[in-house]
Structure 1
């Protein structure tokens, strides 16, 4: 089985691991994981949970475990049973929350500056020019940086989510539901929003320079060649390349897997996004006006709720609101640096290792490096650093058959029926993070069936509004180019790489996620209706189906099936 081949240490064994509640992590990895992805990013994901839970004294848990089952990633949720220990941790955690309420800017920026600095040390190195010894050391450094960045991810996430929940509880105690509370927070300026704005400006610049005809008629590869032949095209390409330097460090698929290329490596998704915006421009849609509309609605909501409060309640509101808004922005902003940026940086180093092994004839293709585990790759590079000639001969007899076997196994696991839950499934879900981020509610724990085809679906009321239109089912980033202006996006999940689609879609429906998932947050930022966590949307809805979504009620109805 590929599970043990990838990592015997992290293979989920239901007969032995059944005392823990395991949940398939479709939110971060909705497809089979590569060997390298499991033994780097996913390994660090789990490690980060544990380090942060200890450092922040997270009261109910010491973090989640990550294991493989039928080629898919599962999270293992565990709780602390000792009530005295929980109480002691709660005291320390409360102190952290009080500190973060008053000092979130410095708390967040300090850690993000560390992340950015660490990533800069990797980007500054031309790995292809390193000696074998230095490439080996560069790999070790990249792996360590990725691990540290995932520690930071959860050190930030635990207090952030707790403060969000505190603010939600305060609002609910004064008659404001979660959607009403979120209306007080939307409209933030973070790196994902800046990415979208820059993409929009690139599209406008291309349109103004009359380059849209070239971009629409040519493939992305040939478009670059054609644009480079004319002055206005060269000017636009310079701006496009500058965009990639700042915003191109993200994995195309937005998964926690290093196997996928980045925007900087393959900017095809960026070209396709820009091309798709031309129709939106022709329709008169304006990015700035739309964003200003969101800002104005937020200020109206803040003023209305504030006016309903008095005395100490009003003072408490004014104290909690600024940090709640910043934390809401953090939910997306940190992903630019860690979930995507750090994964992309590690991918780049691994790609250089793959090119080195391919040059030595140890791999048929540089991308085959992702079918090795991290331990295997570090062993190979360490041996090459010790003696290149012997290392090539030694591993030339070991790698080809292993890679061939792993690729066959990886292709085969997609047909396996990996269950949604495994092990000690609780009768009810009480963990607020599991509910808010992953969308794990009681109906999911004991599902009616994620593969059931239905004409009416229910999920989280993620972003208000009612819209009717054609469904566009997108299972992965390869399908981004099929999304047209006015489509309703139906997908398993979304991540930061999906955000540019939100500038042109009319609504979004997802299988996974809760109120703090990416799709919900991005939909609110662009004022489009969203229903998330339906669990059977991509099973029930087909391309071209006429569907109606009610983002306030959390319902989706198929009104007419496509032929």
Structure 2
């Protein structure tokens, strides 16, 4: 990944935050979010530094409570760069919300401080890489223990009176402290697993980046994709949920259950028909076994309270199984092409190894081996944190919200998402005080109207797509994670800024997964639209979620607005053998559903051939 660029007469710029119009009905949007998160729509530091929109992880407008995901993720990423690992060139990433969307600004380490960090960095990173397997096993135990404790939390309505046994025992508490303590503990447990999240993630990027940099040094002309292919075809736990569905589909075909999946939206009816089949119990047992833990999986990305999880919406995995059954009956191979990927990996590794000897060969083997060992975690963490942890978290949030619904604070369990987490704490004390005193709390007369006002602002913000970036970009973008994960490189930013006459009309981005494909586009903004995707189409999206695996068997290529070589979309597409161009900036707003397009994942180009 080079950061050179042609000389330009003048640096072009993205819009200033304060210059962007506020959608009608969204006036006062800044007050929805914590004071430290919202851009202040006046001249100042926020109106000067370069920001990019992280639509890879947060593609839709935040509701106030949902900022917790961005706050925890970005804070914890920063702590591992800046305080744990002492990564020489990279501190954390500053973040703000503008017009409802999350923007980021990488924080570089001053040149004169980089060298001083190197010894500590090498010592700390060395400890992890020398003890990788045992430390990763400990990590899984820590994360699972946090999830189990979160699952055990309960939020029950308060009783009409304290039980007599509590009087006799001298307990001297009314139970409201449990409600408040469990809320605080829920937030802390979520925060805890987000700290664990980044313990290994940055190391995965470091290992790959170290190998990538070395390969570029000894092979100056090596394509970025060739480096990526040298770690592909590995076993990843993130693929297990999809693999479980494929096994269930194969079992259904093998024992003759395919006719029982006509109406998978009727979960109870479908499972009852299967159970009544002569061999149906065998399938039901396999279905039940697959759910823990693999159905703790969302069709979104886990950062939003509205994300649907398989374990709570069983019609989703049943629908995917139905489609897999149809494809199996059509004679299709539904499995990932792992053997082909491994063969291509070994071919490329040997091709480049044969050009080296001595110390360079030893270094190549060591660095590639380390990258291949650490690489799976770059995706696996998604299952444990974004999917499993956040699935339990949002379920508990709704459980607490139902306590408020019962006391008429608001009408629907999802309405609590329109409060910040600090406001929820205040509402809890309002609720327990009214209960204890024997009067109606203030919340029922305050929150319904306020929630509707906030809902109107969020809806208004959602009518406007975010700018890909803000303000003037730096002459060179050098922060490694910004390049690898988000695809924010010097060249790509300038491509986003280029006038149409400066190019040949093609949409350009990262050459993220090789191959050339022509087909009809299917533009998808939300996971709820996945059912519209037809076989043979090219998926065009702001970003794809790792959980869209069942759809990758239908499509022939992918185009995304944001994402680098190590983004989820890039990795998943390489593992499914699909061409992909990521980081186009505006692919999903330039291309429309039904257009015939050509995707060149080897060169990073997308051409619109006809409407």
TM-score of the alignment, normalized to the shorter chain, above 0.5: yes
| Pair 1:312 & 2:353 matched | no
2:91 is paired with a residue whose SS is coil
| Pair 1:20 & 2:49 matched | yes
The answer as to whether partners of 2:252 and 2:325 remain within 8 angstroms in 1 is no
The answer as to whether partners of 1:97 and 1:163 remain within 8 angstroms in 2 is no
Structure 1 residue corresponding to 2:231, chosen from 177, 185, 194: 185
1:340-419 mapped onto 2 (5 Å cutoff): 340-385=387-432, 388=435, 390=437, 393-416=441-464, 418-419=466-467
1:447-466 mapped onto 2 (5 Å cutoff): 448=496, 456-466=506-516
The answer as to whether partners of 1:190 and 1:329 remain within 8 angstroms in 2 is yes
TM superposition shift of 1:363: 1.7
CA distance in 2: counterparts of 1:151 and 1:34, whole angstroms: 23
Q: Corresponding residue for 1:161? A: 205
TM superposition shift of 1:202: 1.6
TM superposition shift of 1:201: 0.9
CA distance in 2: counterparts of 1:54 and 1:349, whole angstroms: 31
Q: Corresponding residue for 1:325? A: 372
Q: Corresponding residue for 2:6? A: none
Gaps of 5+ in 2: 1-27, 159-174
1:62 is paired with a residue whose SS is strand
Higher mean alpha-carbon deviation, 346-355 vs 60-69, is at 60-69
The answer as to whether partners of 1:460 and 1:515 remain within 8 angstroms in 2 is yes
Q: Deviations over 1:505-551 (max 9, x none)?
A: 22111111111111110111111111111122212222222222121
CA distance in 2: counterparts of 1:502 and 1:166, whole angstroms: 30
CA distance in 2: counterparts of 1:298 and 1:392, whole angstroms: 67
Q: Corresponding residue for 1:510? A: 560
Q: Corresponding residue for 2:149? A: 121
C-alpha distance 350-95 of structure 1, shift in aligned 2 (>3 A): same
Q: Corresponding residue for 1:541? A: 591
| Pair 1:428 & 2:476 matched | yes
Higher mean alpha-carbon deviation, 26-35 vs 180-189, is at 180-189
Higher mean alpha-carbon deviation, 415-424 vs 43-52, is at 415-424
| Pair 1:496 & 2:546 matched | yes
The answer as to whether partners of 1:132 and 1:381 remain within 8 angstroms in 2 is no
1:133-212 mapped onto 2 (5 Å cutoff): 133-175=177-219, 176-212=222-258
TM superposition shift of 1:324: 0.4
The answer as to whether partners of 1:436 and 1:514 remain within 8 angstroms in 2 is yes
Q: Corresponding residue for 1:248? A: 295
TM superposition shift of 1:471: 1.9
The answer as to whether partners of 2:302 and 2:391 remain within 8 angstroms in 1 is no
2:466 is paired with a residue whose SS is coil
CA distance in 2: counterparts of 1:529 and 1:455, whole angstroms: 20
1:236-315 mapped onto 2 (5 Å cutoff): 236-288=283-335, 290-315=337-362
C-alpha distance 315-392 of structure 1, shift in aligned 2 (>3 A): farther
Q: With the length of structure 1 as denominator, give the TM-score of the two structures.
A: 0.92
Structure 2 residue corresponding to 1:10, chosen from 4, 15, 37: 37
C-alpha distance 477-231 of structure 1, shift in aligned 2 (>3 A): farther
C-alpha distance 92-479 of structure 1, shift in aligned 2 (>3 A): same
Higher mean alpha-carbon deviation, 543-552 vs 120-129, is at 120-129
Q: Deviations over 1:189-209 (max 9, x none)?
A: 221122221111122222334
Q: Corresponding residue for 1:32? A: 61
CA distance in 2: counterparts of 1:93 and 1:392, whole angstroms: 57
Q: Corresponding residue for 2:69? A: 41
Q: Corresponding residue for 2:102? A: 73
The answer as to whether partners of 2:495 and 2:508 remain within 8 angstroms in 1 is no
The answer as to whether partners of 1:269 and 1:480 remain within 8 angstroms in 2 is no
2:486 is paired with a residue whose SS is coil
Q: With the length of structure 2 as denominator, give the TM-score of the two structures.
A: 0.85
| Pair 1:477 & 2:504 matched | no
C-alpha distance 287-294 of structure 1, shift in aligned 2 (>3 A): farther
Higher mean alpha-carbon deviation, 200-209 vs 391-400, is at 391-400
CA distance in 1: counterparts of 2:419 and 2:282, whole angstroms: 41
Structure 2 residue corresponding to 1:91, chosen from 119, 137, 140: 119
Higher mean alpha-carbon deviation, 186-195 vs 101-110, is at 101-110
Gaps of 5+ in 1: none
C-alpha distance 417-186 of structure 1, shift in aligned 2 (>3 A): closer
TM superposition shift of 1:455: 6.0
CA distance in 2: counterparts of 1:451 and 1:271, whole angstroms: 47
C-alpha distance 282-418 of structure 1, shift in aligned 2 (>3 A): same
C-alpha distance 241-360 of structure 1, shift in aligned 2 (>3 A): farther
The answer as to whether partners of 2:430 and 2:441 remain within 8 angstroms in 1 is no
The answer as to whether partners of 1:21 and 1:425 remain within 8 angstroms in 2 is yes
The answer as to whether partners of 1:362 and 1:392 remain within 8 angstroms in 2 is no
Aligned residues: 559
CA distance in 2: counterparts of 1:297 and 1:327, whole angstroms: 20
C-alpha distance 359-129 of structure 1, shift in aligned 2 (>3 A): closer
CA distance in 2: counterparts of 1:430 and 1:155, whole angstroms: 23
CA distance in 2: counterparts of 1:289 and 1:514, whole angstroms: 22
Q: Corresponding residue for 2:83? A: 54
The answer as to whether partners of 1:41 and 1:256 remain within 8 angstroms in 2 is yes
The answer as to whether partners of 1:139 and 1:349 remain within 8 angstroms in 2 is no
The answer as to whether partners of 2:539 and 2:555 remain within 8 angstroms in 1 is yes
1:513 is paired with a residue whose SS is coil
The answer as to whether partners of 1:24 and 1:420 remain within 8 angstroms in 2 is yes
TM superposition shift of 1:75: 1.4
TM superposition shift of 1:231: 5.3
